[in-house]
Structure 1
Amino acid sequence: MKQVMPIFISCIKYLVDFMGELLLVGRHLKIVGDQYAMNIRDRKKLYVVTARFVVHKLNLEGRNHSECKDLGDGTIFLGIGCPLVVNSQLFPGCKRNSIYFTGLTLKLFPEPYGCDDLGVYDFTRDIIEPYYPPGIFHPVAEPPIWLTPNASKSAYGHFFQ
Structure 2
Amino acid sequence: MKKIKLMALSLSVAFSFMSCKQESADQDHDMHDATEEMHEMAADEHEMMDDYHEAEQVSLNNGERWVVNEEMKPFVAEGEKLVAEYSGDYKKLAEELTVQNNQLIKSCTMEGTSHDELHKWLHPHLEMVKELGDMDNQEVADKQVNEIKKSYQVYHEYFQ
Q: TM bucket by the smaller chain? A: under 0.3
TM-score calculated relative to the size of structure 2: 0.24
TM-score calculated relative to the size of structure 1: 0.24
Higher relative strand content: 1
Query: Which structure has the larger Rg over C-alpha atoms?
Result: 2
